Structure 1
């Protein structure tokens, strides 16, 4: 993930190769029962590419909210990540993989207004570093809620 405020391809931004290697390692950890990173729970999000139609797997931090899983789609601060475009293009094909559980078919939905504010309070209380990360960006990070289908 590129540092907040940096555009991809600028000095200090991670390369796509590095990101793919880091993602693959984290996916292996989730599948191996070690689904935590920097104090956050991690799941594997399965989507279908919005343009390519190809299957994608992305490790993402999640926060529990009753029967829902919440995730911030920050994209390194500067733009929405590809996984967000994939979810919005093909929400019916989304599944998540939790440590110790098989794939769960989910319905993703972007949280807006009061729902976003409530989720933001929950997430930023659980992980104050995320509030600091958000403060470095001029845009409001989308939060996606996932509920089992």
Structure 2
């Protein structure tokens, strides 16, 4: 049975798998994202001790614009690293949207206009080097990773 079959059965039975967001939590997340995005646009781009940018994507199924505040880590003068942790249990929606429509991605840094970017998912030694820098800068991300059964994707965003 695939994950899709399980989710379909749970929805038909009116149940959710534990840890699967419900309508209220999705609404709450979008509300919080909108508040954080407003702060970033006003020039305040830090949250819980991490630099934050707005990642603009397009919904993979809906085609609707999406914006998500995400922590970023510098990768040289003109690139940004983001980690698709998604709370540990699954890739976040923004990751699926970004991978489905990489040509429509952009970022907003605090107080700046949106900039089109190209995402590159890092693998192998490139991911490991980037991960070591990220973990050194934010040890709590490494702690979250150690508790997850999956390897968090690391995405390099470069100007397009």
TM over 0.5: yes
User: Superposition pairs for residues 83-98 of structure 1, below 5 Å?
Assistant: 83-98=94-109
User: Superposition pairs for residues 90-129 of structure 1, below 5 Å?
Assistant: 90-129=101-140
Gaps of 5+ in 1: 1-5
1:25 and 2:35 correspond: yes
Task: Quote the Cα distance in structure 2 between the aligned partners of 1:52 and 1:16.
Answer: 15
**In the alignment, what sits opposite 1:58?**
68
Higher strand share: 1
**In the alignment, what sits opposite 1:7?**
19
Residue deviations 1:103-143, cap 9 Å, x none? 11100011100111011011000011111111110110001
Gaps of 5+ in 2: 1-17
1:134 and 2:153 correspond: no
Which protein has greater RCO, CA pairs closer than 8 Å, 6+ apart?
A: 1
CA RMSD of aligned residues (A): 1.4
In the superposition, the TM-score normalised over structure 2's length comes to: 0.84
**In the alignment, what sits opposite 1:3?**
none
Higher helix share: 2
**In the alignment, what sits opposite 2:47?**
37
Task: Quote the Cα distance in structure 2 between the aligned partners of 1:74 and 1:53.
Answer: 23
The Cα shift of 1:9 comes to: 4.3
